[in-house]
Structure 1
Amino acid sequence: MLTDEEIQLMEALRESGSLTRAAARLGKAPSSVSYTLRQIEARFDALLFDRRRYRLQLTAAGELLVREAARLHDDMQRLNRRVGQVARGWEERLWIVTDELLEFESLLPVIQDFDALDSGVSLRVTHEVLGGTWEALSEGRADLVIGATNEPPSYAGVRWKELGQLGWVYAVAPRHPLAKAPEPLGADQMRAHRAVVVADSSRRTEGRAYGHGAGQATLALPSMAAKIAAQCAGLGVGWLPEARVASLLQRGELVPKRMAVPREPNTLYVGWREGVEGRALAWWLERLSEPRLCQRLVNGLDRYA
């Protein structure tokens, strides 16, 4: 293994191609640089520089040594930082899973605030849908879930708190047959048309889908954004988060329909695993207790405005 000083010497020789220029850059005598180089070559029993040309050039062995020594040096620096980080109570990484009902863009200001802490904690953010969100937490594929729907499951060691209430609107494209249908719409009218749903990402079960009736044809899509687009295109019908499509409703790109049986708001939850609460998780849980932030996350961004 090379010391920091030896790595600097090797890199100065490679970049300058000259003992004299390398020595000047390092503030050393050329004889000192030459001696140190011979010591390194003796230690590894290898010729590291080709001295036959006017300009010094690394041999294949020298290239390997410089490259790997620099990599190992960087790895050790990262390891030292990570050890200090964990010793101060910060996690090495925080894995956050958001339900597809939440828009990632609404989290960006929170991530920026977290970055300002300069904690060194790496963030990983992924999406799940319906049962897949809670499942990710129970299976260790998440340290924190945001926006999970339905009642929290009875998994051992899972803790949770409410994030807020999400309201829904049943909406169709203006050219869809239901757009001009008399209200309120009943279950039979709904079942006669294909429902657009976001597919459950659960890996344990076949998953669930909401907002459609028994026997109703469905178009299952990977995201709420895709569902909104499909309904605007007239490819199906269904319930949409009211706040996220407010401008589409105002412009008439979607038509709200009054239903005989309205859909109750969904309670969204924050969940985490008990016993693994480092400083990063504690910071996120504190922020996710702020009413204004919770409201922004639940309502999402009206990107169509």
Structure 2
Amino acid sequence: MLSSDELALLEAIRESGSLSRAAARLGKAPSTISHAARQLEGRFDALLFDRRRYRLQLTPAGQLLAQEAARLTLDVARLTQRVKQVAGGWEDRLRIVSDEIIEFDTLLPVVRSFQALGSGVSLRFGHEVLAGTWEALREGRADLVIGATNEPPAIPKLRWHELGVMEWVFAVSPRHPLAKVAEPLERETIAAHCAIVVADSSRRVDARGYGVLGGQATLAVATMRAKILAQRDGLGVGWLPRARVAALLKRGELLEKRTADPREPNTLYAAWSGEHEGRALKWWVEQIRQPRLAERLVRGIDSFA
């Protein structure tokens, strides 16, 4: 590892092409710079400076060292900034995992506001589905989860906030056989048709799913948007967030069907660990507690409008 003085010496000689100019730039005597240059060559046991020409040049070995020195200088500066950042109460990074049911578009204004703070905290976003969202928090892969469903599980020092309630609609394509079946649809009638589901991302064996009846065939997709498209195309049936398919229902591209066993609304949660609450996490929690943002997160954006 080069010292800061050695890094500065290499940069000064590389940019000035002269020991005297490098000395002036560094505020040192030329003899001191010359001695330091020879010491650096002795340390690496390599010829780093070509002294045969009027203009002092770096040898290929010297060029490599100078390039790496520049990179190291930048790394040291970044490290210094990160140390000051953490010492000031900000995290080095904040990992935010949203349930796939939350559309990232709704978080963009919050991300923009956070970046305007100039905190230096790196944000890392990911998404999970159903039990996988809580699991990310439990296993330390997330500092904050947004849009988790079902009751908060038993996690040490877990803290949470209710975002709101998401309403569901059982919807089918006008071309699907269930479109012409009399309402309310019975369980046996629904079970005879393929259910479109968003696959639970939990790594555990007890991964779960919503709206699937015993023995019912399923088509698992990765996102809620894919589920909506599959149902619009008549590939299967299932429950969809009412607000996100309002336009498709209005245009008749999806039909709402009453069922004998209606689905209860889901409460969505934001959750985090109270063990390590830095300034970035506290800021995000404060934003998420705002009723207007919580409502926008729960309703989502009707991208089919």
Aligned-pair CA distance for 1:43: 2.5
Matches within 5 A, 1:183-262: 183-262=183-262
**DSSP 3-state at the match of 1:269:** strand
1:39 aligns with 2:36: yes
- In structure 1, distance between residues paired with 2:225 and 2:10: 51
- In structure 1, distance between residues paired with 2:265 and 2:69: 59
- In structure 2, distance between residues paired with 1:170 and 1:181: 13
* Aligned residue in 2 for 1:8: 11
- In structure 1, distance between residues paired with 2:97 and 2:49: 51
Aligned-pair CA distance for 1:41: 3.5
Query: Could you tell me whether the CA contact under 8 Å between 1:10 and 1:66 is conserved in 2?
Result: no
- In structure 2, distance between residues paired with 1:224 and 1:209: 13
Aligned-pair CA distance for 1:8: 3.1
Q: Structure 1 residues 35 and 26 mapped into 2: Cα distance closer, same or farther (>3 Å)? A: closer
**DSSP 3-state at the match of 1:260:** coil
- In structure 2, distance between residues paired with 1:7 and 1:164: 59
- In structure 2, distance between residues paired with 1:51 and 1:26: 16
**Per-residue CA distance 1:155-212 (angstroms, 9 max, x = gap):** 2221112111000011111211111221111111110100000111111224111112
* Aligned residue in 1 for 2:109: 109
Matches within 5 A, 1:1-305: 1=2, 2-3=4-5, 5-13=8-16, 18-19=17-18, 23=21, 36=33, 39-45=36-42, 46-52=46-52, 57-305=57-305
Aligned-pair CA distance for 1:64: 2.3
Q: How many residues align?
A: 298
The runs of 5 or more residues in structure 2 that have no matched partner are: none
- In structure 2, distance between residues paired with 1:28 and 1:142: 47
Aligned-pair CA distance for 1:70: 1.4
Structure 1 segments, 4+ long, off by >4 Å, are: 25-29, 31-35, 51-57
Aligned-pair CA distance for 1:10: 3.2
- In structure 2, distance between residues paired with 1:54 and 1:179: 88
What TM-score results when the alignment is normalised by the length of structure 2? Answer: 0.90
- In structure 1, distance between residues paired with 2:201 and 2:231: 21
**Per-residue CA distance 1:215-262 (angstroms, 9 max, x = gap):** 100011111111111111111100001111111111221111111221
Query: Could you tell me whether the CA contact under 8 Å between 1:106 and 1:300 is conserved in 2?
Result: yes
Q: Structure 1 residues 53 and 227 mapped into 2: Cα distance closer, same or farther (>3 Å)? A: farther
Residue identity in the other structure for 1:173: S
Query: Could you tell me whether the CA contact under 8 Å between 2:18 and 2:55 is conserved in 1?
Result: no
Query: Could you tell me whether the CA contact under 8 Å between 2:41 and 2:48 is conserved in 1?
Result: no
Q: Structure 1 residues 296 and 35 mapped into 2: Cα distance closer, same or farther (>3 Å)? A: same
Aligned-pair CA distance for 1:78: 1.1
- In structure 1, distance between residues paired with 2:168 and 2:23: 68
Query: Could you tell me whether the CA contact under 8 Å between 2:14 and 2:57 is conserved in 1?
Result: no
Q: Structure 1 residues 10 and 237 mapped into 2: Cα distance closer, same or farther (>3 Å)? A: farther
- In structure 1, distance between residues paired with 2:220 and 2:184: 25
Residue identity in the other structure for 2:223: S
Say which is worse superposed, 110-119 or 32-41, in terms of deviation. 32-41
What TM-score results when the alignment is normalised by the length of structure 1? Answer: 0.90
- In structure 1, distance between residues paired with 2:271 and 2:39: 59
**Per-residue CA distance 1:70-119 (angstroms, 9 max, x = gap):** 12211211111111111111111111110011001110000001111111
Query: Could you tell me whether the CA contact under 8 Å between 1:149 and 1:268 is conserved in 2?
Result: yes
**Per-residue CA distance 1:14-51 (angstroms, 9 max, x = gap):** xxxx549x94x99769x977973563243332322335
The runs of 5 or more residues in structure 1 that have no matched partner are: none
Q: Structure 1 residues 170 and 68 mapped into 2: Cα distance closer, same or farther (>3 Å)? A: same
**Per-residue CA distance 1:133-152 (angstroms, 9 max, x = gap):** 11110110111100000011
- In structure 2, distance between residues paired with 1:229 and 1:179: 16
